[in-house]
Structure 1
Amino acid sequence: MVAESQPVQISGIPVIERPREKIQKRGASVLTDRELIAAIIGKGVHGHSVLSVATVVEEQLNRDYPELNYSTLAKIPGIGHVKACQLLACFELARRYIEEEPVRIQRPEDVLPLLPDLREEKQEHFISITMNGAGEMVKVRTITVGLLNQSQIHPREAFADAITDRAASVIFVHNHPSGSLLPSEQDRAVTRQLVEAGKILGIAVLDHLIISKKGFLSMKEQGLI
């Protein structure tokens, strides 16, 4: 009968070859993916060495990234709540720095370059701009084309893509082909409905902009949100 191999313990590895010591002496770039994960989670638990846990995480990462989520990580023996949060925080931080020039929206004017043709449209377009927790744009989508009213702009449709994107917040935009920048009663009613729906879903409505040939109006700046 062949004996089962025992998980390699950090204590059984020469000090100079341990993940955190390798980072200290030689830099993080020399570590394998498994060693980097081990350095993040720090230690294992009884029956699961840090390296064996890191191996499982690496396999899961290779299989599921970028959809790898908290629930999946937390179920891995030796991970749990704290380490799952540590890993996801590291993944997200790396993503934010590696991706090229993320679009950040900090004021209403930042939206205008994203929709250069909207003010020339002959029909009303209702658009959502989903945002992540860093205030970076995830996606711009047209939700409806036509008249803006509560029956057409239902929260189910307005927030469907934001939920798919796992957005932290959303900015809504629509145009007024008439040129007027004054929000109508329908505009106000739709905005109130969407803000309340966003609170329930945990997706903040940061603003609702009206764009026309005359410029733009921010409902946030007007105190309507």
Structure 2
Amino acid sequence: MIPVIDEKGAKLSVDDLAKFDGIGNDKTALILAAVEFSRRRIRPEGIRIETPADLVPHIRHYVVRKQEHFLCASVNGANEIINIRVVSIGLIDRSHVHPARGVCRSA
């Protein structure tokens, strides 16, 4: 279930969670509420990125993952975070990414 949540992020839907056995309406509502709370808490709207160090607090939670995650942070013209998404989940020590298929697809 975690890979689906990482892939969909804030766009996670009831249909995405309905695919898993043991996830009923109550658990679905709880999971969606937790994802929305996390989105607001971890990436509040209007956060401005001036240096790469400014992005670290927003992606720090990926440090504890066992596999390497290649992330793409999208910003608007004012350098405010629009979205942070997982482009690729790799092995323990590497992640394979194709620029045209992975990174530029969402840009």
What's the TM-score once normalised by structure 1's chain length?
0.25
Give the Å deviation of 1:109: 1.8
- Once residues 101 and 117 of structure 1 are traced to their aligned partners in structure 2, the CA distance between those partners, rounded to angstroms, is 18
Structure 1 residue aligned with 2:36: none
Q: Using the alignment, how far apart are the partners of 1:160 and 1:142 within structure 2?
A: 12
In 1, the alpha carbon distance for the partners of 2:81 and 2:53 equals 14
Cα deviation code 1:110-164 (max 9, x no counterpart): 1111113111111100000011111111100001111335xx31112111111xx
Aligned to 1:117, what secondary structure does the other structure show? helix
> How do residues 56-95 of structure 1 correspond to structure 2 at under 5 angstroms?
none
| Residue 158 (structure 1) aligns with | 103
2:59 alignment partner in structure 1? 115
Q: CA deviation digits over 1:48-77, x for unaligned, max 9?
A: xxxxxxxxxxxxxxxxxxxxxxxxxxxxxx
Q: Distance in 1 between matches of 2:52 and 2:103?
A: 19
Q: Which of 122, 129, 136 does residue 73 from structure 2 map onto?
A: 129
Change (3 A) 1:140 1:101: closer
Match of 2:87 in 1: 143
Alignment of 1:96-111 (within 5 A): 102-111=46-55
CA distance in 2, matches of 1:142, 1:101: 19
Distance change in 2, residues 1:121/1:134 (3 Å): same
Which runs of 5 or more structure 2 residues have no equivalent in the other structure? 1-43
Q: SS state of the match for residue 73, structure 2?
A: strand
Quote the Cα distance in structure 1 between the aligned partners of 2:67 and 2:45: 32
Q: 1:146 to 1:102 in 2, by over 3 A?
A: same
Percentage of pairs with the same residue:
34
Check whether the contact 2:47–2:80 (CA below 8 A) recurs between aligned residues: yes
Amino acid corresponding to residue 103 of structure 2 in structure 1 = A
Structure 1: 4+ residue segments shifted above 3 A: none
Query: Which TM-score applies when normalising by structure 2?
Result: 0.51
Contact kept, 8 Å, 2:45 with 2:81, in 1: the verdict is no
Cα distance in 2 for residues equivalent to 1:117 and 1:155: 24
Between the aligned partners of 1:117 and 1:131, the Cα distance in structure 2 is 19
Distance 1:104 1:159 in 2: 22
Aligned length: 61
